[in-house]
Amino acid sequence: MVPELGHFALILALAITLVQAVLPLAGSFTGNRTWMAMARPLAWGQLTFTSIAFGCLLLAFLTDDFSVIYVASNSNTLMPLIYKISAVWGAHEGSLLLWALMLAAWGAAVAAYSKNLPLPMVARVLAVMGMVAIGFLLFMLLTSNPFERIYPAPLEGRDLNPLLQDPGLAIHPPMLYMGYVGFSVAFAFAIAALLGGKLDAAWARWSRPWTAIAWVFLTIGIALGSWWSYYELGWGGWWFWDPVENASFMPWLVGTALIHSLAVTEKRAAFKSWTVLLAISAFSLSLLGTFLVRSGVLTSVHAFATDPARGSFILLFLCVVIGGSLALYAWRAADISGGGRFDLLSRESFLLINNLLFTALTILVLFGTLAPLIYEAAGWGKISVGFPWFNKMFVALSPLLVLATGIGPNTRWKHDEPARLLRALWLAAGLGIAAFLLVSWPGFSARDIGVGVGIGMSLWLVVTHLASLRDRLKHKGGLRALRRDINPSSRSYYGMQLAHLGLAVFIVGVTMVSNDGVETDVRMSPGDVHVHEASGYRFQFNGVTAVPGPNYRAQRGEFVVYDGEREIAVLHPEKRHYLSGGMPMTEAAIDAGLLRDIYISLGEPIGSSGDWALRLYYKPYVRWIWLGAILMALGATVSASDRRYRSVRNRAPAPAGAAEAVA
């Protein structure tokens, strides 16, 4: 009964969404205020029925209703409660439902927090979001119904993929999807503005907080995924350039460019058509990511759905969305160009450099991800692109990016004097170079130069941003005014500071763990001691014993780690065999610290005397990678809460589209 109710709710949601996509839009062109006013209640209706559907699926999982195929293939009576919940989005159908739910939630959020927006704008934005929702609801109902029944119902479910039975992965997909779907708001704003034919500073100001919040979710989602793969996959990597990771990284890169470009559009009314293009790209890449993941076209860890009908549907949907919005863009873009002029040496220029670099990085990732497909389609053979290529590309471009990130905030809008800029930046440049020399001296080996560049870049970022802060406070009474200056109307500035500090922290993490990390695979007998020469840590192996778990049996190793003579940790890595069968799982044991992680995972038993193949890793500063991501997310959150974005009315000129609505 409950699953049918869910199915029915989904159909009702589709019906509501169809109205939402048509009526308010038509109203916005004919000036029918009643039709336009329908947008908000319809968005709430969409959320209500999608929530009911989601609730029904959740209930099916909680009550172990194995007559539902999706539940039977992804759950199990033995599973702990939290994983029964996260199993709802553990596979294809449910994750789509989650996607639809989030889209509805974003729509409702727009409906709730758009009091300052002119009605035609709200109507158009929600109509566009309704169109996107139609695509997803249709996709679900036609090809991937999560409520499909099976008869006779099996007595026991198949269990959730053990890899996914982890707290990190329980919240990773929702975060990522919030980000993906969140870009639909920026997309809807852009399309709405194109439809209305009016792109101005007010439009950018409305879009900014939405884009920033979506970006925050995406950042956290990606960071969680990285953290998860670090401790769960058992070999201590934090990024693999796996196609699915790339699929989430591309919208992030474009989203980052979009955030910066929106700043220019808001402050200087420049880059308008470019900003619109970025908003379209960010969402299109989110959809492309879904296509790549869900169609299973790429060889990948995540390719668990392989069904041509689904693939073709998403591909078609993708073509309609991208093709349609680009056609609209081509038709309207001519009307929206222009905007503030700026000199070569101006903040606009540096934000433009930022945009170009992020676009270049996106294209590189896209190319590297699709290259195997291109090669195969062209008959040039079956290739794979090694991750060293991606690393090289990023290592080559990031210094430029960091350089621009340091200069940008210190530059004046519109026009700046080289002499003034030089005065503002010489200290940061000097310190950065000094740090580089200090670290690289006197060896200048590849490692030394790598670390030197990384540390130099981080210091450069920190000092340039302090210089920017000093400049900002100069006329307000110096550093003592800092307290007073941190107020709700300056949050976008301090958010920027925080996010860029996050970048500096991230760079330190990546630099140190890539250059100074020690990864040794060894074979040890119980009682053996292994010494890491570089880090000075000693690992004593005390053997492996069998331990039972709730729905698995584990082999648990014991290690005592010494720093010199001092015992610093006792670690218990595990190898788990789930009762539902399938593959064994490696649970790494980690002694985490701000300055270093010690990471041990069990490989496999060798011989009959209790020997094991083991991974003993030393990961300096690895936490800084995720700490940096957290700071970036925090910065964008602070920035999005700036009061200026909420009190729009006071400063906004005549609302977009209002004139024609009245006419």
Shortest spacing between CB 447 and another protein, in angstroms: 20
Note whether 385 binds another protein by CB under 8 A.
yes
> How far apart, in whole angstroms, are the C-alpha atoms of residue 311 and residue 529?
52
- Looking up tokens 């788990």, which residue turns up? 576
Among 113, 331, 367, 444, binds another protein (CB under 8 A): 367
Burial (CB count <10 Å: 0-12, 13-18, 19+), residue 546: exposed
Candidate ranges 89-97, 116-124, 247-255, 520-528; the one touching another protein (CB under 8 A): 520-528
Question: Could you tell me which of 624, 642, 626 has the C-alpha nearest to residue 212?
Answer: 642
Instruction: Render 536-572 in DSSP notation, one character per residue.
Output: -EEEEEEEEEEEE-SSEEEEEEEEEEEETTEEEEEE-
> How far apart, in whole angstroms, are the C-alpha atoms of residue 20 and residue 472?
46
Note whether 529 binds another protein by CB under 8 A.
no
Count of residues that bind another protein according to CB under 8 A: 47
Note whether 379 binds another protein by CB under 8 A.
no
Among 82, 486, 613, 659, binds another protein (CB under 8 A): 613
Contact criterion met (CB below 8 Å) for 229 and 238? yes
Based on CB atoms, which residue is closest to another protein, 232 or 597? 232
Rg (CA), the chain: 27
Calculate the alpha carbon distances from 597 to 52, 628, 648 in Å: 44, 16, 47
Among 368, 432, 452, 657, binds another protein (CB under 8 A): 368
Exposure class string for 263-296: b at 16+ Cβ within 10 A, else e: bbbbbbbbbbbbbbbbbbbbbbbbbbbbbbbbbb
Based on CB atoms, which residue is closest to another protein, 463 or 602? 602
Based on CB atoms, which residue is closest to another protein, 55 or 603? 603
Shortest spacing between CB 356 and another protein, in angstroms: 6
Calculate the alpha carbon distances from 40 to 53, 194, 618 in Å: 20, 21, 54
Note whether 393 binds another protein by CB under 8 A.
yes
Beta bridge partners, 457, equal none
- Looking up tokens 């950018």, which residue turns up? 204
Note whether 299 binds another protein by CB under 8 A.
yes
Based on CB atoms, which residue is closest to another protein, 264 or 501? 264
Based on CB atoms, which residue is closest to another protein, 28 or 359? 359
Note whether 374 binds another protein by CB under 8 A.
no
Note whether 394 binds another protein by CB under 8 A.
no
Which helix (H) or strand (E) segment holds residue 218: the answer is: helix 201-232
Based on CB atoms, which residue is closest to another protein, 30 or 299? 299
Contact criterion met (CB below 8 Å) for 593 and 623? yes
Note whether 441 binds another protein by CB under 8 A.
no
Contact criterion met (CB below 8 Å) for 501 and 405? no
Residue list 326-365, contact with another protein (CB under 8 A): 341, 343-344, 352, 356, 360, 364
The number of angstroms, rounded, from the C-alpha of 566 to the middle of its chain's C-alpha atoms is 40
Candidate ranges 103-111, 262-270, 382-390, 411-419; the one touching another protein (CB under 8 A): 382-390
Shortest spacing between CB 353 and another protein, in angstroms: 9
Contact criterion met (CB below 8 Å) for 620 and 512? yes
Based on CB atoms, which residue is closest to another protein, 367 or 444? 367
Shortest spacing between CB 349 and another protein, in angstroms: 8
Task: Find the distance separating the first CA and the last CA of the chain, reported in whole Å.
Answer: 51
Note whether 236 binds another protein by CB under 8 A.
no
Among 153, 522, 579, 648, binds another protein (CB under 8 A): 522
Among 386, 430, 443, 478, binds another protein (CB under 8 A): 386
Based on CB atoms, which residue is closest to another protein, 360 or 431? 360
Among 82, 335, 392, 529, binds another protein (CB under 8 A): 392
Among 152, 607, 650, 663, binds another protein (CB under 8 A): 607
* Residue 643: DSSP 8-state: G
φ/ψ region of 535 (left if φ > 0, alpha if ψ in -120 to 50, else beta) reads: alpha
The number of angstroms, rounded, from the C-alpha of 282 to the middle of its chain's C-alpha atoms is 11
Among 112, 320, 396, 486, binds another protein (CB under 8 A): 396
* Binding residues vs another protein (CB under 8 A): 161, 163, 233-235, 299, 301, 303-304, 341, 343-344, 352, 356, 360, 364, 367-368, 371, 375, 381-386, 388-389, 392-393, 396-397, 521-523, 582-586, 603-604, 606-607, 613-615
